[in-house]
Each structure stands twice: as structure tokens, then as C-alpha cells.
Amino acid sequence: MNQLVNKSVLVTGASSGIGAVYADRFAKRGYDLVLVARDRTRMEALAERLRRETGVAVDILQADLTDAGELAQVEERLRSDAHISILLNNAGVSTASSFADQSPDEVAKIINLNITALTRLTSAVAPRFAKTGDGAIINISSVVGLAPEFGMTIYGATKAFVLFLTQGLHLELGPKGVYVQAVLPASTRTEIWERAGWDMNAVPPTMEVDELVDAALVGFDRHETVTIPSLPDADQWKTFDTARQSMISNFNQVHAAARYHLAS
């Protein structure tokens, strides 16, 4: 029985992997669902199971979020559907090739889905959430956004954007009652590896999707702004963030730092 009347979650990339598991978990919490992905067949199978097992209402929006027209339809649903109280930006794409080997079209595809679509969907729902003083936005980032050493330059750059966007929105929307969370998975067992063209024999040990999502939801319940499920020591993130914040007061200087002065 649905105990959260008029509350629903819109999940992008909902047909498999992280999105599908999030849909399962939120349905079991009593939320209705709006599933968004390209694969209607998979979404219909997931929707049928969740309706049967949990009794929640599940709507399906088949959409390619890199298509401007289809993206606009999802944006309009977020603007107009007051039942949607959580946006889960999960859809994303990667590639196994290096930046020098990627074509401009491949680079644009990654940016269009990982940044443009995510930002437009967030922009569509944020004003409504801010006006009502509630709602939540969950953005799936990645630890790759903190580690250029991993060599996934464009993918990592898009995920660094997602992290920064989340932190900025936390400062802007948090005081208005809107909760914004960035989830930074490490290697997770999803189809993104094969779709990106990785040799699965070369993929590092990966976390199971269920464990990743369940840990991320612990962070959600704690209202963490940044959740890194694979990080054993939370103080490492706190130290990292404290070091960043300690530099802020030194950024606004009217003269270049002495270390950049030419010797006379």
C-alpha cells in the first residue's frame, strides 16, 4: 500500500543498473515512480514487477535525453507534475577510448547526456522545489571526477561538473528547504563498462549495484551533500573539503602572490 500519497520519484537511466535498483528501493519505500530511459521493454518489465510487489503507481517515459525534443518532454513533466518530489539524475555514458582518440561527436555525446541533460532536468524542477520549500535532487557523479589519474578525461570532467553543480545547489537551494545530494560511485557492476567498449577482463574489482545504492540511500537519509560509498574513512573527504575551503579567503587578492613576482 502506498503510504506516501502524491509523492513520486523521477528516475533517469531507469531501465537497468543503478537507476533500476534505485527505482526498486524507492518503490519499497512507498514512492510512486516515473521511469525514464530509451529501453521501453526493460522499463515495462521493471514497472510490472514493482506494481505487483509494492502496489505503487509506475509511469514510463521513453526518452533519449540527448534528443532535444524528447528531453523537453521530460523537462515539462518535471515542471508540471507536483507529485514528483525527488529527481534522480542517473543517466550517463562513458567511453573506453582516450581523449585524443575520441571524435568531436563522441565527446559531444558524453557532454550532452552527462552535463546538458542533467542540468536542464535539474533546472526544470528546481524552481518548483524552491517555491514549495521541499523536494530532493540526487545526482550520480563519480569518484573519477576527483581523480584525473584514472585517465578518463572527458567522463571525469563531466562528473566533476556534476559534483560542483551539486555543491553549488546545496548552498543555493538548501536554505530554501531543497536537499541536493551527489553520489560518487567507484567501479560498479553495471552495463556502462560494456557499452563504453571496455575489455571486461581488464576492469578492476567492482561493487555490486545493490550494495552501492543501499549505501547511497544511507547517505540520503543522513542528508549528506556528498556520498562516497567506497570511501572507508569519512575524515579523508572532510580533510579534502576543508583544505579547499581554507584557500577561499586567499583567492580574492588585488595583487599577484609574491611567488609570481619576477626577481628584480
Give, to the nearest 10 degrees, the angle between helix 118-132 and helix 68-80. 10
Neighbouring residues of 214: CB distance < 8 A, sequence distance ≥ 6: 25
* Catalytic site includes residue 155: yes
Grid cell locating 255: 595583487
Residue with cell 512507498: 30
* Residues classed as catalytic: 155
